[in-house]
Amino acid sequence: MTKTTLNSLDLPGAPADTRVVVAMSGGVDSSVVAALLKDQGYDVIGMTLQLYDHGEATHRAGACCAGQDIYDARRVAEDLGIPHYVLDYESRFREAVIDAFADSYLAGETPVPCIACNQQVKFKDLLQTARDLGADALATGHYVASRPSPGEPGSGANGHRALYRARDPERDQSYFLFATTQEQIDFLRFPLGDMTKQETRALARKYGLSVSEKSDSQDICFVPTGSYAQVIERLRPGAAEPGDIVHLDGRVLGRHEGIIHFTVGQRRGIGVAIGEPLYVVDLDAEARRVVVGPREALSTRFVSLREVNWVGDGPLPAYPQHTGPLDVHAKVRSTRPPQPARLIAGEAGLEVELLDGEYGVSPGQACVLYESDTDQSRVLGGGWIDAARPADEFAAGLHDTAAIATLAAE
């Protein structure tokens, strides 16, 4: 039996016969991906998404997805001699990402819109567009790796692929890609997953790219001023209603102008002082109440998940209902390394027990699961945090918002 020869993207056939759509954001990373694949002889098509009304963010340093970025992507494509298309996804982005972001904040959550963008727009609509163009793969500039799954003979039609943390832990973006489905992983390619940022910059200079020294994006693209509250007030006029700032012991300490100005774990800018450090420990959207207390009240041991995406070996139902808790590692923040955890079956669904605990966990964030805490460990999936609770009964009582409401009314 003749063994199929795979190219550098683990696809059968010569690069010249392999069409790859590159999602070009206008930054150095995706531009290097386009240049690298073009240099390797692939049939490359560049594609840029216009996601929102760029307005004041157009020329601001550190903003992403702005008008300048579209211009930069087009220029790089012209220099490389590849076709380039700009797709207007503004209405789709508004509905799936911006509106959901505003509603989540108004519900007292801390949303992560970059994950929603990957989940609902980039790896859904854009991926389908790439297929419609006859592409064999969609490549992006994310710092995450994908390889044939252990024991699989190849990739794509020949087998599944698995997602792994990037080689450069400071640049790893696997947290933002937990919702990527198995079908999407099989079609996606991440050429920068085994590179450092310095190596990427060096390639940009080698290829003479006009964006080789361009700064990385740092902000949420549709929050040009960096103020979430201003964006939400514009999207949902009048939705930010005032309410009480209440201590865990029931004391009403002051008033606030809307829970959208607060996040769980916040210390600065609360607006009240009692001679000891105070932190936001809970946001009760229904009662318009901001609950504050000491740092120890932020301790979290268990998180319940919704909309779980599992890309580990075997179907998720095999765990943990039938086999007991599954040892994993978990991240509840993109900047933290994976911590020891267990995936367990809770009363309301799947839960994750954070064995070392965590502080300031908020509903709306993501909990991403990994095989281990080692470099380039495999991504097993994850889910959106629906609720967080502490380990001991005393701390659990601190989070009893009904009891707090009773005390505050007395």
Is the pLDDT at 407 greater than 80? The verdict is: no
Residue 401 has pLDDT above 80, yes or no: no
At 37, which amino acid appears? L
Taking alpha carbons only, the member of 376, 397, 365, 398 closest to residue 115 is: 365
Q: What local confidence, expressed as pLDDT, does residue 321 receive? A: 61
Ordered DSSP codes for 121-177: IIIIIIHHHHHHTT-SEEE---SEEEEEPTT-SSSGGG--EEEEE-SSTTT--GGGG
* Average pLDDT value for residue range 174-183: 95
354-366 average pLDDT score: 92
| CA-CA-CA-CA torsion sign (147, 149, 155, 157) | negative
Q: Which two tokens stand for residue 222?
A: 């549709």
Provide mean pLDDT across the span 387-406.
57
Tens-digit pLDDT profile for residues 3-12 = 678 899 999 9
222-231, Cβ contacts within 8 angstroms, sequence gap of 24 or more: 222/51, 222/52, 222/65, 222/93, 222/97, 222/98, 222/101, 222/113, 224/55, 224/56, 224/57, 224/60, 224/63, 225/56, 228/105, 228/260, 229/258, 229/260, 229/261, 231/98, 231/101, 231/102
Judged by average pLDDT, the poorest of 350-364, 376-390, 391-405 is: 391-405
pLDDT band for 154, please (50, 70, 90 cuts): very low
Distance of CA 102 to the CA centre of its chain: 16
CA neighbours within 13 Å on the CB side: how many for 278?
21
pTM of the prediction?
0.87
221 catalytic? Reply is yes
Tell me what pLDDT residue 186 has.
96
Q: What is the mean pLDDT of residues 129-136?
A: 96
Q: pLDDT band at residue 215, thresholds of 50, 70 and 90?
A: confident
Q: What is the pLDDT of residue 56?
A: 45
Highest mean pLDDT among 194-203, 268-277, 331-340: 194-203
Q: At what angle do helices 67-80 and 28-39 cross, to 10 degrees?
A: 20
**pLDDT above 50 (res 294):** yes
Candidates 64, 65, 114, 221; catalytic one: 221
Between CA 403 and CA 284 the distance in angstroms is 12
Q: Is 114 a catalytic residue?
A: no
How would residue 224 be classed by pLDDT, with cut points 50, 70 and 90? low
**Among the listed ranges 42-46, 59-63, 292-296, 318-322, which one has the minimum average pLDDT value?**
59-63
d(CA 229, CA 262): 9
Handedness of CA 278, 303, 371, 172 (dihedral sign): negative
What was the pLDDT predicted at 239? 81
Domains of the chain, start order: 15-141+191-206 (3.40.50.620), 241-293 (2.30.30.280), 298-397 (2.40.30.10)
More confident of the two residues 228 and 307 = 307
In percent, the amount of the chain with pLDDT more than 70 equals 86
The catalytic position among 65, 114, 117, 367 is 117
What pLDDT, on the 0 to 100 scale, is given for residue 151? 57
Counting every residue written for the chain, the total comes to 410
